[in-house]
Structure 1
Amino acid sequence: MNQALVQIVLMAIKEQFVSEKAFYHDQLGITPQSWDRWKKGEQGLKTENMQKISLLFTDYEWMMVQKVCRNALFLPEVAANPVSEFQHMKFHVAKKWANSGIAELEFKRDDSSDDEEAMRKPAVTTLKISVNYDFWSYRDMIELRLPGVIQQQIEREKQDLLEWFNENIDEKFPTAY
């Protein structure tokens, strides 16, 4: 198993779920032993479980994960900290999209069920940055998970979301976890 992938997946789980167990038990339906063996690279996961892991990310983010994993094989600095590389690229691309004027920024509504909501991390705001290419189903998205108070601050201060984004988002912005 590519350890860069494992590290990035663990970061995404930490961002989105109350615990690793909430993810591997409730989402993947596997035992702690199977999860630990996957993390150590001793065994793989079924195709359907790898698909569920990919759902931790948008399609665009999943493509970025694959690129970081590939680069980790060849570049020691990426292999040393793939999570940092992934987060840096995610924020960098989001900022480029926003500054170019082609992106839409909005807070994402939570569409999860009550059962799934109990597993999700509370007090997190998801900022969705998307680019639409005017072809059906071709839309790239990056989601930034931020502390929940951010959305309240922007709405209370009636500040423009793009203005706030440009003032506050850089590669070192603290994540929600």
Structure 2
Amino acid sequence: MIQKNLVLLISSIFLFTGCSTLGLLGPKKIETISKPVQIDIMQPDLPRPVDLTAPKWYVVSEARIANPCKKIVQEDGSETRPKLCDPSETENPDWPEGYTYLDRFLDEMKKQNNGEVVFVATSVGDYKVMAEDMQELKRYLKQLGEVVVYYRNVTMPNGDKGAGVAIKKND
């Protein structure tokens, strides 16, 4: 019984003291050191270049198209063009008399669109607004590219410039 009480006493002493009596040197000192750490920053991908396709614009008038006479090659190799000739001897003999740019445009559109003609028109003022909007879009994209390049260069380690990062101006 005495042995049992002795074992209980010793085990309860170890339990309550947390084995601190074994480390007679005392608690260890914690040393805090501050030093800069290089952080790897993920570089953003540059946006893909904008690939715009310019639409075709047609300016059509009712002015008559000149249908000149065919060139005649002289014996010495020079070419001359007579001022007057038969309609069958012109460069475009299938054009009727008084053929205009509007007539030619309509014929070309009928060929391209299976015989149908559809017009999409704009006024000069609206065209000016569209041109100004396009310039504004170009300006925005240029500034956006500059911001991306700036942040890419700022976040590169040791102040290096990003490889292959530049803004090209296409005229």
TM-score range, shorter chain: under 0.3
Greater radius of gyration (CA): 2
Q: TM-score, normalization: structure 2? A: 0.18
Higher fraction of helix: 1
Q: Could you tell me the TM-score, scaled by structure 1's length?
A: 0.18
Structure with the bigger RCO (C-alpha within 8 Å, sep 6+) is 1
Higher strand share: 1
